[in-house]
Amino acid sequence: MKRLGAFLALTVCLWLVTGGFGADLEGVKAIIELTEKEGIKIWTDKGCYETGEYMTIYFKAEHSGYLTVYDFMPDGSTAILFPNAYYQNNYIKGGVEYQLPAPGDPFKFKVVPPSGFGQGDREILWAVITEEEIGLPDPKGYSQKSLAYSIKATLEDLPEDIWWASDMHEFAYGPCEEEEARKEWTFMVYLNADDSFLSQVASDDFNEIEEGVCKVETYMDVIVLWDGLGTHHPTGKRYHVQCDQTSSLAHYTEGETVWSVGEVDMGSPKTLKEFVNWATSEFPAKHYALVIWDHGSGWKKAPAFVRGVSFDQTNNSGLTMKELRSALSEVPHLDIVGFDACLMQMIEVGYEIKDYADFLVGSEEIEGGDGWDYVRILSALKGMRTPDPGNFIKAMISGNAGTPAIKTISALKLTGFRRLAERVSKLAEKLISNYDEDAILSARKKVQKFYYDSYVDLRHFAELIRDNVHSSSVQAAARDVISAFDSALVSNWNKGGRWKDAKGLSIFLPDPDQVPSWYSGYTNANLQFVQDTKWKEFLEKFIGH
């Protein structure tokens, strides 16, 4: 990207520019995703630019600090956009939105793709802020990927008491397709009421959704696939939910606001995939959220009718984590995946779908039959200034906090799950090599547990290990888990009392004396988390299997 100033060519004024090492933007992106940490946001005024258009960059940090903005280009070159010759002091104040260039600045960012690049090619902006001035690596002498690794290592080596954050933004080169008029959101609810109990209460939640739509219909389409059982909505229908504040359903017209699809297997990945692809095709939007409404049992695979999530009584089926991943891998990328279902806020669940959505919302504990309060959620969203993903997540948390059915609810960034899993794996390795059975058993006894005794709070367990195991390497590994978890956490609420130590994400850790029979399903073949980490090896040593 050439940057021509109003008075000077900014390309010659950038602090550091390097090129000629060969591009690896996908490799860079993967490294940045491992390093992203909440606290700074960077964005541009558009997502795609025609050649010669001017670009404006925006950024805002939660806390004051020293900001560096790297620009990774598709020809292999890298530049530092901030600080620069016009802004040599890179200290910014927390809570303030900055614009670059600011009105009156003697330079502009003019988008001109490097030679040989054009439509569809992209640049990556990486914003990194630290509360102290630490001297981040400059691009000179680095390939793009080695530079990203060096920045990552520098940040991860900082003392725990030095705050830092990072965020990534991409933009594309034109010619840009004209964007059709789209609403901000398509909110999809996969309402599986093919169950003797839930079929009787599903209409209450559908009525809540109808009432909530009245609050947000100007910028959100709410699409529901509802399949019931017996006399309660016995076959599947897709709804474009209409505003209605009565206790009965709104009026729906076949082929316009409701589409009958017959009996569907809600425990099949094919049904989920087809619903999401249909909804996003018929109701395209800037953002997509999916909530799976039904029973849930975390990663649990067997027996068939109480496995994973979305149990279908008619077909005696349910989605395993592998099937959930398969379905979401074949739909457009989602901003939010939520589970209005029991026990789904697990690292094993989030890790399975980390590549297909940005945020995970759900409960570590079982939910009451009323489930989520959709009127409160959508009413809370209406009251926020902008309906962006962050605010929708806040609405999901605040709309459910304190309701009778919800004991715990949290939201996490799925982009942080790869790093979190790496840290959990390292902790497992250290626990094996520095095995302290008494301390681990003590932590297992004290840790926050949920409906399934073998599901325990991950952060609380790491805290107990940090405080009770004497090995310094184990303590360091536990601190790293806590740090990675805190970076991924967006919001957490619990009811207190017996749930006071529910920090937002659970993990499978059975009692050695009461290992559930379904432990046999905790395998490489069924769960990517097991395949990619050493946690299963630690469990085998711990429970003696």
Task: For 297-312, give the DSSP string.
Answer: -TT---SGGGSSEEEE
- Say what the pLDDT of residue 10 is: 47
pTM equals 0.74
Among candidate residues 294, 42, 75, 43, the one with its CA nearest the CA of residue 165 = 42
Give the structural domain span for 333: 183-414
Residues 281 and 149 in one domain: no
Q: What is the mean pLDDT of residues 272-279?
A: 98
Phi, psi of 375 (to 5 degrees): -65, -45
Residues 198 and 292 in one domain: yes
Residue 134 located in a structural domain = yes
Question: Around 366, how many Cα atoms within 13 Å sit in the side-chain half-sphere?
Answer: 8
Q: What is the mean pLDDT of residues 212-241?
A: 93
Apex 223 CA angle, 219 and 224, nearest 5: 150
Task: Choose one of 120, 147, 173: the last residue of a domain.
Answer: 173
> In 297-402, at which residue ranges do the beta strands (DSSP E only) sit?
309-312, 317-319, 334-340, 357-362
Q: What is the mean pLDDT of residues 365-388?
A: 89
Residue 1 located in a structural domain = no
Task: Choose one of 385, 414, 443: the last residue of a domain.
Answer: 414
Task: Please provide the size of the chain in residues.
Answer: 545
pLDDT at 5 over 60: no
- Say what the pLDDT of residue 11 is: 38
pLDDT at 8 over 50: no
In this structure, are strands 334-340 and 317-319 parallel, antiparallel, or unpaired?
A: unpaired
Measured over the CA atoms of residue 341, residue 346, residue 351 and residue 355, the dihedral's sign is positive
Domain count, the chain: 3
Question: Is residue 453 within 8 Å of residue 298, measured between CB atoms?
Answer: no
CATH number, domain of 129, equals 2.60.40.1930
Residues 364 and 404 in one domain: yes
Residues 383 and 239 in one domain: yes
pLDDT at 334 over 50: yes
First and final C-alpha spacing in the chain: 57
Residues 265 and 355 in one domain: yes
- Say what the pLDDT of residue 303 is: 61
Q: Is 52 left (phi over 0), alpha (psi -120 to 50) or beta?
A: left
Residues 258 and 407 in one domain: yes
pLDDT at 15 over 80: no
Question: Tens digits of per-residue pLDDT, 205-216?
Answer: 999 999 999 999
Question: Is residue 30 within 8 Å of residue 149, measured between CB atoms?
Answer: no
Cis peptide preceding 175, ω within 30 of 0: yes
Task: Show the tokens assigned to 471.
Answer: 């090995």
Residue 3 located in a structural domain = no
- Say what the pLDDT of residue 545 is: 55
Residue 514 located in a structural domain = yes
CATH number, domain of 392, equals 3.40.50
Q: What is the mean pLDDT of residues 198-205?
A: 92
pLDDT at 160 over 90: no
Apex 62 CA angle, 61 and 66, nearest 5: 50
Residues 216 and 329 in one domain: yes
Question: Is residue 309 within 8 Å of residue 295, measured between CB atoms?
Answer: yes
Mean pLDDT across the chain, nearest whole number?
A: 91
Residue 2 located in a structural domain = no
- Say what the pLDDT of residue 1 is: 38
pLDDT at 314 over 80: yes
Q: With the CA atoms of 534, 540, 541 and 545 taken in that order, what torsion angle do they form, in degrees rounded to the nearest 10?
A: -160
Residue 107 located in a structural domain = yes
Residues 254 and 386 in one domain: yes
Q: With the CA atoms of 253, 255, 259 and 262 taken in that order, what torsion angle do they form, in degrees rounded to the nearest 10?
A: 110
Task: Choose one of 347, 382, 414: the last residue of a domain.
Answer: 414
Task: Show the tokens assigned to 317.
Answer: 């089926």
Residues 251 and 104 in one domain: no
Question: Is residue 242 within 8 Å of residue 266, measured between CB atoms?
Answer: no
Q: How far apart are the C-alpha atoms of 407 and 226, rounded to whole Å?
A: 26
Question: Is residue 273 within 8 Å of residue 267, measured between CB atoms?
Answer: no
Confidence of residue 82 (pLDDT cuts 50, 70, 90): very high
Task: Show the tokens assigned to 477.
Answer: 């590994």
Question: Tens digits of per-residue pLDDT, 446-501?
Answer: 999 999 999 999 999 999 999 999 999 999 999 999 999 999 999 999 999 999 99
Residues 372 and 261 in one domain: yes
Residues 223 and 367 in one domain: yes
Question: Tens digits of per-residue pLDDT, 380-427?
Answer: 988 776 678 889 999 999 999 999 999 999 999 998 999 999 999 999
- Say what the pLDDT of residue 498 is: 97
Residue 5 located in a structural domain = no
- Say what the pLDDT of residue 14 is: 38
Residue 4 located in a structural domain = no
Residues 77 and 163 in one domain: yes
